[in-house]
């Protein structure tokens, strides 16, 4: 291209001293402001990497001037990548690199306490005296359930095996069993079902009794203070009488027959769950809450649950055990023949003459399975109790009519007796209560009978010869064909009782008022005449 012509855009650029802003006077403040704005733009931090362009350019120029590579313009992209990579690289020492902890080492540190042998000698001596080991064979149980695709992986099963061993070494346990695993939103619960040695439950009940006595003394003192305050200014008293509280079943009987320990993971300390009360079981039937994995978490629900997550977990364990713990029919029998007719029988023993039926028969017929845990009544107890029964002092104070009314309202509940066949369990619409199947159809002579509960999803049982076991893996919720509907709050109480004394009447007419006044005057005149006659007689 030759020299630019005056009419072309590039004309005059090659002339010395030419500037496109010759007609403009430069402003120093405006130029400094533009520079500051440009620098501020370059200092903006990226939302992805956290870097800014100003520092990146400075690091690139520093690297180029230090290394002075050849053909810099051709490798400027690679230099930019190297500078970015150096920002995210770990700062290593020149003599020794930073030690990386592999995940396998972290898992080994977590379960290291399970492999420490403590207190085994004393436990072995107690087992020799008792004649039967209290530690269950969790790995054998896991093997049988694995045939049906149920259970945990082998590593976790073995960790639970060791955790149960540590529990037995610490606690005075007579029998122990791996109950199952309840899932939670934050953490899970591993549940152990145990029976303490004789005398341990009595100490606990004694401590509870002392606590209740102390609480009663405090309440008596508070009641005396309240009486003194009420004497000064007595407000209107409420006539509402709360229903009598249903007492919980004693330790070793009914819903509190077993003691339960839980932990979130194998290796963590075991925590003993408190005994369950009828009020907690009744309320647990009306609500549906997911577990969080924290025993002290509050239960926010309606109706309000009387306790925290530890009490709710204990109530759900009692409900699941009462509905899903089964055994082959005839494996257990009552200790006495008289107990067979009694519905309140709670003790049984193993039948030494039991002959296990074949697997095919246990799969085809549900009459080969029976409940060996007492069912829970609507009252929240396994054995019914009349809450209206009171002491003789209270009976003297109350009227006979109230006693008759209370006695007529309370009707004794009767549940199914112990060792009832599961074939009598009611289904849910078109869904049966139980589903039985064999572990395999390809090799039936070595198959295992598997029983699955449809009412409590996650509850399973197996039977193979004289061996059987029950286990639970689930969220702790009962299945319902319809969606869960929370209980509605009670209707609002009336502000005042309606009656003729309170109901507002219509205003009288003038004629009615005149007639009323005339009637009053006549009544007064008659009264005065009567008084005059009495005075004359005197």
pLDDT digits (tens, 9 = 90+) for 376-411: 999 999 998 988 775 444 544 455 445 444 444 567
Q: Pairing mode, if any, of strands 271-272 and 459-464?
A: unpaired
Cα 301 from Cα 12, distance rounded (Å): 85
Band (pLDDT 50/70/90 cuts) for residue 201 is low
The 10s digit of each residue's pLDDT in 36-84 is 888 888 888 888 877 888 988 999 999 999 999 988 899 999 999 888 8
- Mean pLDDT value across residues 216-242: 62
Question: Are residues 153 and 286 located together in one domain of the fold?
Answer: yes
- The enclosing H or E element of 324 equals helix 309-324
In a domain? residue 226:
no
With a cut of 60, say whether residue 176 has pLDDT above it. yes
Three-state secondary structure along 51-117? Answer: CEHHHHHHHHHHHHHHHCCCCHHHCHHHHHHHHHHHHHCCCCCCCCCCCCCCHHHHHHHHCHHHHCC
Band (pLDDT 50/70/90 cuts) for residue 317 is very high
Question: Are residues 363 and 469 located together in one domain of the fold?
Answer: yes
Point out the domain boundary residue: 26, 60, 87. 87
Higher pLDDT, 407 or 117: 117
Band (pLDDT 50/70/90 cuts) for residue 111 is confident
Among residues of the chain, what percentage have pLDDT more than 90?
45
In a domain? residue 496:
no
Question: Are residues 61 and 134 located together in one domain of the fold?
Answer: no
Q: Are 502 and 496 in contact (CB under 8 A)?
A: yes
In a domain? residue 534:
no
The 10s digit of each residue's pLDDT in 296-306 is 999 999 999 99
Q: Are 370 and 327 in contact (CB under 8 A)?
A: yes
- Mean pLDDT value across residues 483-502: 79
Please tell me the total number of residues recorded for the chain in this structure: 538
Q: How many domains does the chain have?
A: 2
Q: Are 265 and 190 in contact (CB under 8 A)?
A: yes
With a cut of 60, say whether residue 145 has pLDDT above it. yes
In a domain? residue 417:
yes
Question: Which pLDDT value is given to residue 393?
Answer: 43
Establish how many alpha carbons lie within 13 A of residue 289's alpha carbon, considering only the half-sphere containing its beta carbon. Answer: 25
Question: Which pLDDT value is given to residue 406?
Answer: 46
Question: Which pLDDT value is given to residue 7?
Answer: 60
Band (pLDDT 50/70/90 cuts) for residue 473 is very high
Point out the domain boundary residue: 431, 456, 474. 474
Question: Are residues 148 and 297 located together in one domain of the fold?
Answer: yes
Q: Are 309 and 299 in contact (CB under 8 A)?
A: yes
Hey, which bits of 381-535 come out as E strands? 434-438, 449-453, 459-464, 467-474
With a cut of 90, say whether residue 17 has pLDDT above it. no
With a cut of 70, say whether residue 226 has pLDDT above it. no
Q: Are 334 and 300 in contact (CB under 8 A)?
A: no
SS3 476: coil
Question: Are residues 440 and 321 located together in one domain of the fold?
Answer: yes
In a domain? residue 528:
no
The 10s digit of each residue's pLDDT in 456-469 is 999 999 999 999 99
Question: Are residues 134 and 55 located together in one domain of the fold?
Answer: no
Quote the domain boundaries for residue 303: 127-199+245-385+413-474
Question: Which pLDDT value is given to residue 461?
Answer: 96
Q: Pairing mode, if any, of strands 332-334 and 348-350?
A: antiparallel
Question: Are residues 46 and 174 located together in one domain of the fold?
Answer: no
SS3 361: helix
- Mean pLDDT value across residues 472-490: 89
Residue 390's nearest CA partner among 402, 381, 372 is 402
In a domain? residue 238:
no
Cross-strand bridge partners of residue 45:
52
Residue whose token pair is 């009462």: 322
The 10s digit of each residue's pLDDT in 325-339 is 999 999 999 877 655
Among residues of the chain, what percentage have pLDDT more than 70?
77
Cα 199 from Cα 467, distance rounded (Å): 30
In a domain? residue 458:
yes
Peptide bond into 303 cis (omega under 30): yes
Burial class of residue 451 (count of CB atoms within 10 Å of its CB; 0-12, 13-18, 19+): buried
Residue 267's nearest CA partner among 152, 151, 165, 133 is 165
Q: Pairing mode, if any, of strands 467-474 and 173-182?
A: parallel
In a domain? residue 1:
no
Rg of the chain over Cα atoms, rounded to whole angstroms, equals 42
Cross-strand bridge partners of residue 175:
195
Q: How much is the mean pLDDT over the chain? A: 82
Higher pLDDT, 439 or 411: 439
Lowest mean pLDDT among 123-132, 163-172, 279-288: 123-132
Lowest mean pLDDT among 193-207, 308-322, 389-403, 504-518: 389-403
- Mean pLDDT value across residues 367-380: 93
Question: Are residues 133 and 78 located together in one domain of the fold?
Answer: no
Question: Which pLDDT value is given to residue 334?
Answer: 86
The 10s digit of each residue's pLDDT in 233-278 is 677 777 878 888 899 999 999 999 999 999 999 989 999 999 999 9
Cα 14 from Cα 395, distance rounded (Å): 121
Q: Are 180 and 472 in contact (CB under 8 A)?
A: yes
Question: Are residues 147 and 83 located together in one domain of the fold?
Answer: no
Most confident of 148-157, 182-191, 402-411, 526-535: 182-191
Establish how many alpha carbons lie within 13 A of residue 162's alpha carbon, considering only the half-sphere containing its beta carbon. Answer: 17
CA-CA distances (angstroms) from residue 482 to 102, 230, 287, 404? 48, 51, 14, 40
Burial class of residue 376 (count of CB atoms within 10 Å of its CB; 0-12, 13-18, 19+): buried
- Mean pLDDT value across residues 145-158: 92
Band (pLDDT 50/70/90 cuts) for residue 293 is very high
Question: Are residues 49 and 155 located together in one domain of the fold?
Answer: no
Question: Are residues 467 and 350 located together in one domain of the fold?
Answer: yes
Question: Which pLDDT value is given to residue 92?
Answer: 58
Cα 530 from Cα 155, distance rounded (Å): 107
Question: Are residues 348 and 455 located together in one domain of the fold?
Answer: yes
């Amino acid at each position: 291209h030759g020299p630019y012509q005056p009419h072309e855009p590039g004309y005059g650029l090659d002339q010395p001293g030419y500037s496109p802003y010759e007609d403009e006077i430069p402003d120093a403040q405006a130029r400094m402001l533009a520079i500051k704005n440009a620098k501020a733009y370059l200092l903006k931090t990226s939302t992805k990497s956290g870097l800014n362009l100003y520092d990146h350019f400075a690091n690139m120029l520093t690297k180029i001037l230090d290394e002075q590579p050849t053909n810099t313009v051709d490798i400027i992209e690679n230099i930019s990548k190297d500078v970015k990579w150096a920002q995210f690289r770990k700062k290593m020492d020149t003599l020794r690199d930073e030690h990386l902890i592999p995940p396998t080492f972290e898992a080994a540190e977590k379960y290291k306490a399970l492999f420490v042998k403590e207190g085994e000698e004393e436990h072995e001596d107690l087992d020799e005296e008792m004649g039967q080991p209290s530690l269950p064979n969790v790995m054998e149980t896991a093997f049988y359930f694995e045939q049906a695709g149920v259970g945990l992986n082998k590593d976790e099963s073995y960790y639970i095996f060791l955790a149960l061993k540590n529990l037995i070494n610490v606690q005075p346990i007579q029998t122990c069993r791996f109950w199952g695993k309840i899932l939670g939103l934050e953490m899970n619960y591993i549940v152990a079902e145990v029976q303490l040695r004789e005398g341990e439950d009595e100490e606990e009940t004694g401590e509870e009794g002392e606590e209740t006595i102390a609480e009663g003394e405090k309440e008596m003192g508070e009641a005396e203070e309240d009486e003194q305050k009420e004497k000064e200014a007595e407000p209107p008293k409420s006539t509402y009488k709360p229903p009598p509280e249903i007492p919980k079943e004693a330790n070793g009987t009914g819903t509190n027959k077993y003691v339960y320990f839980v932990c979130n993971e194998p290796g963590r300390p075991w925590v003993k769950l408190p005994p369950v009360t009828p009020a907690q079981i009744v309320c647990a039937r009306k609500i549906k809450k997911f577990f969080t994995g924290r025993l002290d978490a509050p239960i926010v629900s309606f109706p309000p649950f009387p306790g925290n997550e530890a009490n709710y977990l204990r109530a759900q364990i009692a409900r699941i055990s009462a509905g899903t713990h089964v055994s082959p029919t005839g494996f257990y029998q009552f200790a006495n023949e008289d107990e067979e007719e009694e519905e309140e029988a709670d003790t049984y023993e193993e039948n030494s003459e039991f002959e296990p039926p074949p697997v095919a028969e246990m799969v085809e017929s549900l009459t080969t399975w029976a409940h060996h845990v007492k069912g829970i009544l609507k009252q929240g107890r396994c054995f019914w109790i009349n809450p209206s029964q009171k002491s003789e002092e209270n009976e003297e104070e109350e009227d006979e009519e109230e006693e008759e009314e209370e006695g007529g309202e309370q009707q004794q509940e009767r549940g199914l007796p112990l060792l009832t066949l599961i074939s009598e369990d009611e289904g849910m619409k078109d869904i049966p209560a139980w589903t039985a199947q064999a572990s395999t159809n390809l090799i039936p002579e070595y198959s295992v009978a598997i029983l699955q509960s449809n009412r409590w999803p996650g509850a399973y049982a197996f039977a193979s010869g004289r061996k059987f076991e029950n286990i639970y893996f689930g969220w702790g919720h009962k299945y319902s064909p319809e969606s869960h509907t929370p209980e509605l709050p009670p209707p609002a109480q009336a502000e005042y009782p309606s009656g003729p004394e309170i109901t507002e009447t219509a205003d009288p007419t003038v004629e009615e008022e005149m007639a009323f006044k005339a009637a009053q005057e006549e009544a007064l005149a008659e009264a005065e005449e009567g008084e005059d006659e009495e005075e004359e007689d005197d």
